[in-house]
Every structure is written in structure tokens, then in C-alpha cells.
Amino acid sequence: MKSKKHIFLFLLIAVQSLFAQVKFEARVSKRQLGINERLRIEFSMNQEGDNFKAPSFTGFDVVGGPSQSVSHSWINGKRSFSKVYAYILSPKKKGNITIAPASIEIEDKIYQTKPLQLLVTSPITKPTNPNDPNYVASQNIHLVTEVSNTSPYLNEAITVTQKLYIHPSIGISDFNTLNAPKLTGFWSQDVSDKQLKIERGEYQGSPFNYVVLKRTVLYPQTTGKIKIKPLTLDVLVSIPTNRRDFFGRPLKQTVHQKVSAQLKIIDVKSLPEAGKPDGFTGAVGQFEFDVTVDKTTLKSEESLKATVLVSGEGNLKLFQLPKLVVPSSLEVYEPEHKENVRTNYAGMRGIIKEIYTIVPQYKGTYPIHPLSFSYFNPKTAKYITLKSVSHVVDVLTGKTNQNPVNNTNNKQGTQQQNVVTNKNQFQSFQTKTTLVPMTKHQFFRSNMFWYMLLLPLLIIPLVFVLKQFRANAKQDVRGNKLRKADKLAKKFLSEARKNLNDKETFYESLHKALHNYLKAKLQMETSEFSTDKIKSIFNKKGIDATTSSQFIQLIENCNLARFTPVSSIAMQQDYESAVHVINAIDKVL
């Protein structure tokens, strides 16, 4: 009888352990798909875990996700748990593609899914159906690239504008960049507005709304034909349907639509060789030029400032200013470069200058000869040369130059200094030396000898102490777990700051940082992460209600951001709020 009870107990334990086994697996909606189709992949687990890491999805564009779903159920008194991370993928190339394993940490163990083999074939022809939401989206949303000038001169500013046209009958709730325009051969700077504004316009003669996604000012750096590869977006489109809700409002269906702008070719013209001035350094635009000094009378060993300045509009950051040339009796230091340049839709505008510090060595009168500055005006297709005024510097007191020949080279950018000999010019150098005989030192039985002999005897107990310390540290499982969570919290918070321009990555990193912070500082387990539990522990630790509410609001923002569009300003505010809340909690703890 007892043996039967033992067998029954053994079977019961075996069944319970079977049900408690961790399952972490990957599933795809299809194993074979056309290059113009979408794929849904899900990573599911039957126990709560931390630090989920998705694969790199090489060969695919992530057009949706990660989205999370969690389910709890009780059947005959037994708890069932399921959590799923889901992504929508779009293939980038044909052929056999392998999706690498994902990983997650459950109860201090790392679990991985199995790699998945997929086959991507040629595009699949889809029948035209006016009631198909994907077809409706493709006919009512368009991405357009506008270029202000397709045939500029070298270093002449052009503006590239990316516009997304949306028919008034549909709407968009979010979009992701799949392929950004490649601007090889250009100096570029973005000048887009921080917030997107919906404006009214026309597309191929029909009324459309449009949004200016991005404006970029380009300065071509090479001549010839340069391709601007198109921008590609994945847009989340809301299509109205014939169904209505309980209140009679029309229901909408959301679909993903991939849109691309057209390829643009810029034919960059060379600057004309005819009439090109000597000393031309590549300035293109419309400029003014001047050389000023802050004083014209001074004493020797005093200093004055000479400023070479160019102002106007054009490629201000892409050329060199002419070098100041002064007589050899004036000592000139390397110039300090300053610029106040802003970039708008038409290009760069502002001031660049170089400030020279000049120190006269001798009494006398010294001229600062005029400088010339040349630039090319693309509007008139002509070179223009500007000259500065000359200045005379009077040094009222000081030594008299025994060699008063002041030579300046007429070529800009070079200057010749006279060499003045002096019989005492090597006075600071020692020309005599005293030799001292070296004493013979013996290493054996010296202090160093005994130190090196005793050193191994001192190291041996130190090694034993370190080994014992490491052994104790390994046995401290809970302490190691908390320290690891603290490191992960700092790591993910740093990753969130680096990804402020990527909504999905930012909020995923911020969410992980907040969870690991709770584990490290409050010794909470993942299964305890509920709003009531967090409030209760914060209250016991003496953390005020405002800080507690801000922390919970951040977690809710991370969850909502997966399903709603978020501006870059809101992301920056959430990051700053996280840093503020964590610092406030640290002060209390």
C-alpha cells in the first residue's frame, strides 16, 4: 500500500514539474512569402521574463512592433500565463533567409528560441479590388521628393523636401523610416520643423492633404550626375469601412502601406575656369568682406586684434579665409576662428571671422596692407573680388629696430620674418659641464634585493584572501542578482538616451531600465510589477505620492507608446522625467 502511495506521489511531482517547464518559442505566419508580402512573427513564453532581446532580422525591415500581449487564466484552480512579443516584417531580398534566435532571462537563466528558415520568392500578383484596404491605401497615399534646383553649380545650395500626400478620405496614425535617402557627394544639414503640420495642396490635379516630413539643404561637393536615393516609409493607414459602431460612427481598418519617393538625379556643374581669380578658395554665394583692427596706436609689447571677416549667404563653412600679412617686426599668433552661421531653407547665412593677436616688438610705424577675397556668384555666373582697406599701426614707445627692413610677401598666406642676430642669444644655455664619477652599487643584499625576495611571500596570502572574497561573492546569489539589475538599469537608461530619435527602441530601453531599477533598489520581482504593489512599496519606503505617480506614469507611457504616435518632444520629456524620478528615489533610499 505504501509503495502505491510513493508511486502516486512520484507521478504527481513529475506532472507538476512538466507543467512548470519553461517554454519560449518563435512562430511565423508563413514559411514562404513573396517579396511584396508581409510576415508576422511572434515570440511567446509561458512565464514572465526580463531583458527580452529580439534578433536582428537580417534581410527584413521591421514595419511594425514590438507589440506585447499578456494573458492570465485559471482553469480548475491552475494558473496559466502567456506573454507574446509580435513583429511585422517586410522582406528586402529574395532567397533563403534565416531569422536568428531571440533570448530572454527567466529566473536567472537565459532561454533562446530556435532559428527559423524562410523562403522569399518573386513578387506575388495581387488582384485589383476597390474594396481591398491595401489597394485603397496604395491609391490614396504618395511620397514625393522635391528639389529646388536639379542643375546647381559646385558648392551652390539646393533644398530637398520630402512630402507625404494623403487623400482627405483616409488618415495615418504613424510611420517608420525603412530606407533614408543616401546623400553621398553632398554636404548636408536638416532644417525641418520640429512638429509636423498638415497643409492643403494638390497631387496630380486632385485635392490632397500633405505633410512636410523633412527639408535638407545640400551643397554638392563633386561635379557630374549624383543620385539621391529615395526615401522609403512604412505608413500605418486608417481606411474607412462600411461598418459602423454602436453609436453609428463608421469603423476604420488599419493597414501598413509601404511608399517610396522617386529617384532624383542632380547634375552638378563645374565652376567656370574663365576669369577665376588667383587665391580663389571655393566660396560660392553672395558675400561681403572686411579687415578691421581694434586700435592703431599702442606701445611695444602691447597687443592689438585684427579681424578678417566674411558675411553673407552661401557655403560659409566650406572655404578658407585669406591669411593676414603683416611686417616682420609685428609678432602674429595663430588666429582664433569664430562663426555665427544659421541654416534656413535657402542655405547658410551668417558671419565667419578669424581674429589675429598682434604684438609689436619695436617702436615705429607699420602698415597692414589690404587683403583680397574672391567668390563665385551663381546667380550672375561671375567671379567677384573684394578688397579690404589698409591700416597703419603706430607703436609709440619701445626699442628701436637695429635692422629696420620690414619685408612682407605680396602673396597672401605667407609672411617673411627678419632674422636679428644677438651676441647673447645663447646665454640661457649651459656651455660648460662638470662630470661626476658614478659609484658602483651592489644589488646583492641591497634593500631592493630583500624587497623582491619577500614580495612572493606577501602575494601568497593576498591571493588566498581574493579567492575567498570571490567565493563569498559567488555564493551571494541575491546580492549578485541585485547588482546585475542595477547595472542593467544604468545600461538601458543610457541606451534610451542614445535612441531619442527612434521611438520603438527608446521606449523599449526605458521600460527595461525602469523594471531593472525596481528590482535593484526595491528588491521586487517581475511578477510583482503591478501599480498597487509599486505604490505600496513606495509608501513604505517614504517616497512621496508625486514621485510615485510620476514613476507609474512613465511605465504607462512606455506601454502606450507601442500603439500611439509620440513626438520627439514627448520622448525627451519622458527621458528627463525618468532621470528626475530616479534621482528623487535615490535620495530617499
Percent of the chain surpassing pLDDT 70: 80
pLDDT in tens, 109-136: 889 898 999 999 888 776 666 677 788 8
**Burial grade of 103 (CB within 10 A; 0-12, 13-18, 19 or more):** middle
Q: Which residues pair with 143 in a beta bridge?
A: 164
Dihedral over Cα of 40, 44, 50, 51: its sign: negative
Q: Which CATH number fits domain 477-588: 2.60.40.1120, 1.20.120.330, 3.90.1170.40, 3.90.190.20?
A: 1.20.120.330
The residue behind cell 579681424 is 307
**Burial grade of 252 (CB within 10 A; 0-12, 13-18, 19 or more):** middle
Query: Within its chain, how far is the Cα of 54 from the centroid?
Result: 21
Enumerate residues 6+ apart whose C-beta is below 8 A from 288: 310, 311, 312, 386
Predicted local distance difference test score (pLDDT) of residue 414: 39
The residue behind cell 532581446 is 53
The angle, 0 to 180 degrees and rounded to 10, between the axes of the packed helices 447-475 and 477-498 is 90
Q: Which residues pair with 80 in a beta bridge?
A: 73
Predicted local distance difference test score (pLDDT) of residue 407: 46
With contact defined as beta carbons under 8 Å apart, do 259 and 279 qualify?
A: no
Going from N- to C-terminal start, the domains of the chain cover 20-121, 133-268, 285-395, 477-588
Which of 87-96, 284-293, 524-533, 575-584 is predicted least confidently? 524-533
Q: Which of 47-56, 71-80, 245-254, 438-447 has the highest mean pLDDT?
A: 47-56
Do 477-588 and 20-121 fall under one CATH topology? no
Neighbours of 18 (CB within 10 A): 8
Q: What is the pTM of this model?
A: 0.54
Predicted local distance difference test score (pLDDT) of residue 208: 92
Q: Which residues pair with 539 in a beta bridge?
A: none
The CB-side HSE value for 254 (13 A sphere, CA atoms) comes to 10
pLDDT in tens, 431-488: 566 666 655 556 677 778 787 888 887 888 888 788 777 776 666 555 555 566 566 6
Enumerate residues 6+ apart whose C-beta is below 8 A from 272: 381
52: which 3 cell numbers?
A: 527580452
Neighbours of 109 (CB within 10 A): 9
What CA–CA distance (Å, rounded) separates 367 from 399?
18
Quickly state the pLDDT bin for 277 (edges 50, 70, 90). Answer: very high
Task: Determine the CATH number of domain 133-268.
Answer: 2.60.40
Task: Determine the CATH number of domain 20-121.
Answer: 2.60.40.740
Percent of the chain surpassing pLDDT 90: 23
For the segment 27-45, the average pLDDT, to the nearest whole number, is 87
pLDDT in tens, 136-171: 888 889 999 999 999 999 999 999 999 999 998 888
Predicted local distance difference test score (pLDDT) of residue 219: 94
Task: Determine the CATH number of domain 285-395.
Answer: 2.60.40.740
Predicted local distance difference test score (pLDDT) of residue 229: 85
Enumerate residues 6+ apart whose C-beta is below 8 A from 333: 356, 357, 358, 359
For residue 546, the surrounding DSSP H or E stretch is helix 545-560
Enumerate residues 6+ apart whose C-beta is below 8 A from 490: 513
283/482: higher pLDDT? 283
Mean pLDDT (the chain) is 80
Whether pLDDT at 425 is above 60: no
pLDDT in tens, 357-404: 998 888 888 898 899 999 999 999 999 999 999 999 998 887 776 665
Quickly state the pLDDT bin for 288 (edges 50, 70, 90). Answer: very high
Quickly state the pLDDT bin for 508 (edges 50, 70, 90). Answer: confident
For residue 32, the surrounding DSSP H or E stretch is strand 32-34
285: which 3 cell numbers?
A: 554665394
For the segment 198-218, the average pLDDT, to the nearest whole number, is 89
Quick one: residue 236, left, alpha or beta (phi over 0 = left, psi -120 to 50 = alpha)? Answer: beta
For the segment 31-46, the average pLDDT, to the nearest whole number, is 86
What CA–CA distance (Å, rounded) separates 279 from 221?
19
- Concatenate the DSSP letters of all residues of 295-344 into one string: -SEE-TT--EEEEEEEEEEE-TTSS-PPPP---TTEEEPPPEEEEEEEEE
Enumerate residues 6+ apart whose C-beta is below 8 A from 118: 28, 31, 32, 33, 39, 96, 97, 98, 99
Quickly state the pLDDT bin for 196 (edges 50, 70, 90). Answer: confident
Whether pLDDT at 236 is above 80: yes
- Three-state DSSP state, 552: helix
Predicted local distance difference test score (pLDDT) of residue 413: 42
206: which 3 cell numbers?
A: 486632385
